Amino acid sequence: MNAEDTLPVATETKPDVNKLILREALSWLWVILAFLFITGTIVQARVIPSGSMERTLLVGDHLLMSRLGYEAELPMTPLHMRLWRNPHRQQIIVFRAPLPGTPDYIKRLIGLPGYELEIREGVVSINGKPLNEPYRADPPNPTDNYGPVTVPAGEYFMMGDNRDDSYDSRYWGFVPRDNIIGTPVMVYMSINAPEETWNPGHIRDRMTTYISILIHPGIVRWRRIFKFF
């Protein structure tokens, strides 16, 4: 065989490692940006740590909360911006607690701006008319009295459905509109576990509880999954 007849040897081009790393980094960057956009403006996951909203919400309910139209924020920063939607009376609301260093609260909006609110023997009245509250956990408490007060402009009066076990506007006052984050849409998981499991900082307890579902599936409240509000 002549030299002219020798077949060319195919050489494999080595990939550019730097380009591969850059491409991978950009892919993850888009994923992170999409996650921040979704959690900052559209939907977030929350868990109920206390019984202040029973029977409506139970300790261990895992919620998807819509913040669409209520607020936009840059996650993990104090930067947030109020949007165009305003809540309506008797809607369940997630909001920043008006007490420094306190986790976000979830309560029911009872008093709108400009309305007169009064509680007598546990019965809530708005502008002199008793409010129908079929969601309450217990009958009105005769010792529960408050007001009358007029809700200031741009602020709201919040109360828990479990009135005898709710730390709400009766004790710490009104909630500014800028504090409102969103409203729950759906329960996507509900786990029967002690309250302290869901308190901030109890990551190990939460992980243990999630793993224990594999052994004790009965701690899941299966009938509450996909409950919509």
pTM here?
Answer: 0.82
200 contact partners, CB below 8 Å, separation of at least 6: 103
- 8-state DSSP, 78: S
pLDDT in tens, 38-52: 555 577 889 999 999
Please give the Cα distance from 42 to 209 (Å, whole number).
Answer: 28
Cβ(204)–Cβ(197) below 8 Å: no
Structure tokens, 55: 């029977």
| Residues labelled catalytic | 52, 107
Round to the nearest angstrom and report the end-to-end CA distance of the chain.
82
pLDDT in tens, 166-184: 999 999 999 999 999 999 9
Return the C-alpha torsion angle 91, 89, 70, 137, nearest 10.
Answer: -30
pLDDT in tens, 143-165: 999 989 999 999 999 999 999 99
> Residue 143 phi/psi, 5° resolution?
-90, 0
